[in-house]
A and B are shown apart, each in its own frame.
Chain A
Amino acid sequence: MSNDLTSELQQQISEAYAQGTPLQIAGAGTKAFYGRTPHGEPLSRGAHRGRNKYSPNEHVNSAPSCTPLAEIEAELATHNQMLAFEPPHFGAGATLGGTVACGFSGPRRPYAGAARDFVLGTKILNGKGELLRFGGEVMKNVAGYDVARLMTGAMGALGVLLEVSLKVLPRPAVEVTLRKDLDESRALKAMNRWSGLPLPLSAAACDGEHMFIRLSGSTKGVKAAGQKIGGDVLAEDEQIWERLREHRHGFFESATPLWRVSVAPGTAPLALRGKSLLEWNGALRWLKSTDDATSMRTLVERHGGHATLFRGGDRDGQVFHPLPPGLMQIHENLKRAFDPACILNPGRWYTQL
């Protein structure tokens, strides 16, 4: 399927730049819930499609931004490879562009790395409609500033992604998930203790009652590690990691605002009101809470972390953790450097970005 919209998009952005028209960027809209309420004219990006350039021996996949994530993952699977950051889709039709723009990563993140760790290069349109390419398709590249990684998770505020090159990795030969009955506090200690030992861990979570640990690697290696850690082997059809990643786990079925709290993994349970679920050895803590944002953020900040109102709640308020003035100034300067007329997804991050 090929539908190269580069020149149309370029024209639309150039005109919007000239007239100061705000644009809202969307792929399949599966992550429209995230960030502050979008404003502006839709950037017709519906189907910027083209050939998926996949080089299994190079461990690289380059594709236009509207390529469905599922399509890429299916193609990688035919060569027994994967996107090691295990991106959540959050709905059918999720695109590569949306995935990289949001920068979400799944259960393997603490061990394999985040979305940005796998971004090798991007082709973008900046806020003036200039077509620019940063990074490339090779594993190591330090020529110029790392704009390709800067684009990851920037939610389109610095440029419209047209093409993304990702590093891919081989799928582990074997994966086993273990379950142990442990509460949050004991699970935090256990997960972080195991993570400090040379074991083939690839995910760790706690739902408040059970700790889940995934081991990935060779048959023998996984078996030996499993004996060391102990616990019940979870049946594959439980799909625990997929349910956690896609927020299909029972915990997420709720109308209560969902907070994403990010702290150092070993941080003891936080005194926050609401039900919580831990991922990433405790570095990622989901919290269902109607508590006041300011008091919650003050507490999280004391632990060196930050809190995002992930789903629900007031989408016109401070969805993201406020930045200190010095950092906010840099953000505003960067925004102007890439998008001088402030037309790309304005206000999606903060009112002034």
Chain B
Amino acid sequence: MQQSEQETIARRISREELVRELRRFLRDDAVLYAAEDTRPYECDGLSAYRRVPWLVVLPETTAQVQRIARLCFENNVPLVARGAGTGLSGGALPLENGILLNLARLSGVLEIDPLNRTARVEPGVRNLAISEAAAPQGLYYAPDPSSQIACTIGGNVAENSGGVHCLKYGLTVHNILQLKVVTIEGELLTIGSSALDSPGFDLLALMTGSEGMLGIIVEITVKLLPQPERAQVVMAAFGDVTSAGAAVAEIIGAGIIPAGLEMMDNLAIRAAEDFVHAGYPVDVAAILLCELDGTNDEVSEQILLVRDLLLQAGATEVRTARDEQERLRFWQGRKAAFPAVGRIAPDYYCMDGTIPRGRLAEVLNRIAEMSREYELPVANVFHAGDGNLHPLILYDANTPGELERTEELGGKILELCVEVGGTITGEHGVGVEKINQMCVQFNEQELQQFHALKSAFDARGLLNPGKAIPTLARCAEFGAMHVHHGKLPHPELERF
């Protein structure tokens, strides 16, 4: 698929010449082209899609990023930016004829400003490292994607990452103030400011989640929040998924905004329990984990309310973590759920759609039906409070045809999300993975508007080509396949 889009870019420089040009201002070990050096970058967190990059470049300063961009612009070389490569939609999948720009070496925490409650950091700083740097001031950075130990803030901005706590504290877009961005022409722009707004259009929101298609993020100023006085988690067990879904609606409807509200179904519970012994009941259909945070008094008041609501909604058991250790253990099970599912099947495919919360039970039941139809088990571990689903499809890539069936089922699940009024991606991004489903969610004129918007930043289409927004030709092809065969064959993909 990307091949066709890449081929339209006529590079005007050979790799040897480009390497020579880059080494004028970069150390030798910052320009990698030998297959053994570039192979580690062949995929991001979505390992089903792989491509050995043509060239990997590791700048250490903003000035170097600007020079790299200028070289690319002058010579028509496509450029893909990459953080830690933990993304789950193939957004950092490299190109066969372009540069993979690894921003990991731009990793300085430049400033923590306790009075203004901000941190100024470089894109290669890990998400959790920001909170660690701010902790001595009693502050933290709220968005917490499950990969927060490894993922970088630059990647978080590019994908508008969420996490367990974004139910109360918002996504990346709600928690950043300023970006420094290098354009494909090598110009350094400051977007946003240290104030709460800036003149002109809201480019800060536009850049967030733009998947490296509009510019290269080289510095981020994030908002920091005071660490809550207390956090407490309540676990509730349910005999059926429908009442668990209803309980979510009850809590939200009662005017409580938990810090996190997560659901796991039976398959996920058993996998997690076997793996980390979190203390979950294993014979129930679903559990909810509801975290409440705030001042001591607020949390005490809300715990009582939430317990009542859960029991009224039909919970068979409600447990409040007795101490911090038990709270962390409850969360450990949730956080380890993906790898835990990885232990019970040779492969799993993680989906990411968002639906209206009120349709949770209905959608989960329909996913269960589809799972039976496709004879592929599906485990559900997800951000129930936001209606952000993460169905994990269990499969075996070594069984012929199973990856194809998995992708088809995945596509069906995403289309179901759109059908009930939701979206094909809540927090993982489109990347290469969901590019076909973009044709389902947006019509031709909307996609054309996206392409026009992209041209306002990158008229030659050199930044991350082939990602996030499908060409109309691609949609036409997908639509035809879709209608006539009801299949998403991805013939262009390598299979691993």
Residues in chain A within 8 A of chain B (CB atoms):
55-60, 80-81, 103, 109-110, 113-114, 116-117, 126, 130-134, 136-147, 149-150, 152-154, 157-158, 169-171, 173, 192-193, 195-200, 217-221, 223-225, 262-266, 280, 283-284, 304-306, 308, 320-324, 326-327, 330-331, 333-334, 336-338, 349
Contact = CB atoms under 8 A, between A and B. Distances in A.
Contact of B449 (A130, A225, A263, A264): A130
Max count, chain A CB within 10 A of own CB: residue among B115, B183, B386, B446: B115
Contacts of B339: none
Interface stretch (B125-133, B146-154, B425-433): B425-433
A158 B206 CA distance: 13
B279 interface: no
28 contacts: A109-B196, A116-B202, A132-B445, A132-B449, A136-B422, A139-B167, A139-B354, A140-B162, A140-B166, A140-B426, A143-B430, A144-B430, A144-B438, A145-B209, A145-B450, A145-B454, A157-B201, A169-B257, A173-B255, A196-B114, A197-B226, A262-B197, A266-B115, A280-B196, A283-B195, A306-B195, A306-B198, A327-B203
Contacts of B355: 138
B434 interface: yes
A59 B252 contact: yes
Residue from the set B193, B256, B294 with the largest chain A CB neighbour count within 10 Å: B193
Given A114-B196, A150-B206, A225-B295, 5 more contacts: A113-B170, A149-B205, A150-B202, A264-B195, A330-B189
B243 interface: no
Lowest 5 CB-CB distances: which A-B pairs, in order? A170-B255, A333-B456, A220-B297, A149-B205, A140-B426
Interface string B208-250: 1110011000000000001111000000000000000000010
A266 B116 CA distance: 5
B421 interface: yes
Contacts of A331: 200-201
Contact of A145 (B190, B206, B252, B387): B206
B194 interface: yes
B449 A323 contact: no
The residue among B189, B249, B383 with the most chain A CB atoms within 10 A of its own CB is B189
B295 A170 contact: no
A221 B191 CA distance: 37
Given A138-B355, A138-B356, A218 B456 contact: no
A170 B206 contact: no
B350 to A, nearest CB: 15
Contacts of B457: 330, 333
Contacts of B354: 138-141
Given A262-B197, A334-B456, A338-B452, A136 B205 contact: no
B208 to A, nearest CB: 7
Contacts of B183: 326
Contacts of B194: 263-264, 304-305
B11 to A, nearest CB: 24
B207 to A, nearest CB: 9
Among A56, A147, A308, residue most surrounded by chain B Cβ atoms (within 10 Å): A147
A306 B194 CA distance: 10
Contact of B453 (A55, A145, A149, A219): A145
B430 A323 contact: no
B57 interface: no
Contacts of B76: none
Interface string B409-438: 000000000000111111111100010001
Given A170-B257, A221-B295, A333-B455, A149 B196 contact: no
B468 interface: yes
A139 B386 contact: yes
B298 interface: yes
B301 A218 contact: yes
Nearest to B420: A138
A60 B249 CA distance: 13
Contact of B171 (A140, A219, A266): A140
B387 to A, nearest CB: 6
A331 B200 CA distance: 8
Contacts of A308: 199
Nearest to A121: B423
A263 to B, nearest CB: 5
Nearest to B197: A262
B449 A146 contact: no
A145 B158 CA distance: 11
Given A146-B206, A224-B295, A141 B425 contact: yes
B298 A220 contact: yes
A80 B193 contact: no
Contact of B294 (A136, A141, A169, A198): A198
Given A116-B202, A224-B295, A331-B201, A142 B427 contact: yes
Contacts of B114: 196
A129 B1 CA distance: 32
A173 B424 CA distance: 35
B442 interface: yes
B301 A221 contact: yes
B446 A198 contact: no
A140 B165 CA distance: 13
